[in-house]
Amino acid sequence: MGVGVSLHPLAKAVAREGGIGVVSSACIDRLVSRRSGKKKNTYEAAYEEVSLSKVKDGFSGINIMMALQRDYADSVKGALDAGVDVIISGAGLPLSLPAIQTPKDTALIPIVSSARALDIICKKWEKLRYRPDAVVLEGPLAGGHLGFRIDEIDLESNRLENLLPPVKEMARKFGDFPVIVAGGIYTHSDIARFMEMGADGVQMGTRFLATEESSATESYKQAVIGAKEEDIVVAHRPGSPCGLPFRVIKQSPMYVSSLQRRRPPKCDKGYVLMKDADGKYSICPAKEDNENYFCICNGLLSSSGYNSDKEEPLYTVGSNASRVDRILSVKTLMDELTNAGG
């Protein structure tokens, strides 16, 4: 959940340099309401953030996680009405995405971690008379939630290099749409290597987290700079209430206190609630259980400076965060990534 990290300042800067700047829809109503001093619902906030991220001749995007069920449709509608160029959706299979509202010129891009997941999505979307405009293949080195079981993360067969050929094959089968790879890509030569292997583009998270334009707090950015390889762990029991492994810096204050069960369970944000038998959004394992789950909504909001006086931050990063040693501007980073030698 790129909560409050990937907002319009970062997305706009990336779009200005020729990339697709992607805002995160997670918790967007609270973040935009606080910034504007006016209460905005999810639809309005998604609309506003996408609108603010647009640049002339550039591309705007939004990431909307399936795990955010309660706000999913409103985020999609707000982004579409604002004319977003790209919706990227994962953390679950976005099976109904094309059915929410006619996407018109907006590209719909699911995120998968296997060819099988892509097969399931394409078959479902075919029934809705839609085909993915591209797919993001996210491997196990990524930041945020990982689309693998905890015991599958280190398998040789799940290395991004090994996942790419079958996913490329599946994309060909359903119309040869582009495959964008993500997870552990750090340098220009990493990009070139994956493009030579057949990828059509890359998605990057961690390096952009450590930019001047990212809205992560200064302490988050400093934690990324200070993180050593052994400090980056995949959190699982305690882990994310979304049920997926989640990569963190192990010194993150909320992770440390959750290992010691210091924070009493309390649900006051509700972004990852699932429906109960009556169709009400009331279920989140972190509501009652602080042994196996941390309160991800509060931890990530705090990492972007929201309520940081009341809740401890949780720092998510990709495995390559240990290589980050300084904060760059997006322009410097994009120049480095697009030039051989970077």
> Residues in the site for ligand SF4, rule: CB under 6 A?
241, 267-273, 284, 286-287, 295-298
Q: β-strands 281-283, 274-275: how paired? A: antiparallel
Which one of ligand SF4, ligand FMN, none is in contact with 269 (Cβ closer than 5 to 8 A by kind)?
ligand SF4
Give me the sign of the Cα torsion angle 110, 330, 58, 342.
negative
Interface contacts to ligand FMN, rule CB under 6 A: 1-2, 5, 24, 26, 63, 65, 90-91, 111, 138, 141-144, 182-185, 203-206, 209, 316-318, 320
Which one of ligand SF4, ligand FMN, none is in contact with 302 (Cβ closer than 5 to 8 A by kind)?
none
CB hemisphere CA count around 266 (13 angstroms):
8
Backbone phi, then psi, for 250, in 5-degree steps? Answer: -65, -15
Query: Quick one: 93 or 297, whose CB is closer to ligand SF4?
Result: 297
Which one of ligand SF4, ligand FMN, none is in contact with 295 (Cβ closer than 5 to 8 A by kind)?
ligand SF4
Beta bridge partners of 246: 145, 235
Which one of ligand SF4, ligand FMN, none is in contact with 26 (Cβ closer than 5 to 8 A by kind)?
ligand FMN
Give the residue among 58, 104, 96 at the shortest CA–CA distance from 79. Answer: 104
Alpha helices in the chain, H assignment, sequence order:
8-16, 28-36, 42-53, 69-81, 97-100, 115-127, 160-173, 188-196, 206-209, 218-226, 253-259, 296-303, 330-338
The DSSP letter of residue 247 is E
Rounded to a whole number of angstroms, the minimum distance from the CB of residue 283 to ligand SF4 is 9
Query: Quick one: 82 or 87, whose CB is closer to ligand FMN?
Result: 87
Q: Is the Cβ–Cβ distance between 49 and 71 less than 8 Å?
A: no
Which one of ligand SF4, ligand FMN, none is in contact with 7 (Cβ closer than 5 to 8 A by kind)?
none
Query: Quick one: 78 or 318, whose CB is closer to ligand FMN?
Result: 318
Rounded to a whole number of angstroms, the minimum distance from the CB of residue 275 to ligand FMN is 21
Query: Quick one: 264 or 341, whose CB is closer to ligand SF4?
Result: 264
The DSSP letter of residue 213 is T
Query: Quick one: 161 or 289, whose CB is closer to ligand FMN?
Result: 161
Query: Quick one: 18 or 175, whose CB is closer to ligand FMN?
Result: 18
Which one of ligand SF4, ligand FMN, none is in contact with 287 (Cβ closer than 5 to 8 A by kind)?
ligand SF4
Query: Quick one: 100 or 300, whose CB is closer to ligand SF4?
Result: 300
Q: State the Cα–Cα distance between residues 76 and 70, nearest whole angstrom.
A: 12
Buried/exposed 314-330: b ≥16 CB within 10 Å, e otherwise: bbbbbbbbbebeebbeb
Rounded to a whole number of angstroms, the minimum distance from the CB of residue 89 to ligand SF4 is 19
Give the residue among 66, 61, 71 at the shortest CA–CA distance from 243. Answer: 66
Rounded to a whole number of angstroms, the minimum distance from the CB of residue 111 to ligand SF4 is 21
Return the SS3 of 192.
helix
Which one of ligand FMN, ligand SF4, none is in contact with 289 (Cβ closer than 5 to 8 A by kind)?
none
Rounded to a whole number of angstroms, the minimum distance from the CB of residue 71 to ligand SF4 is 11
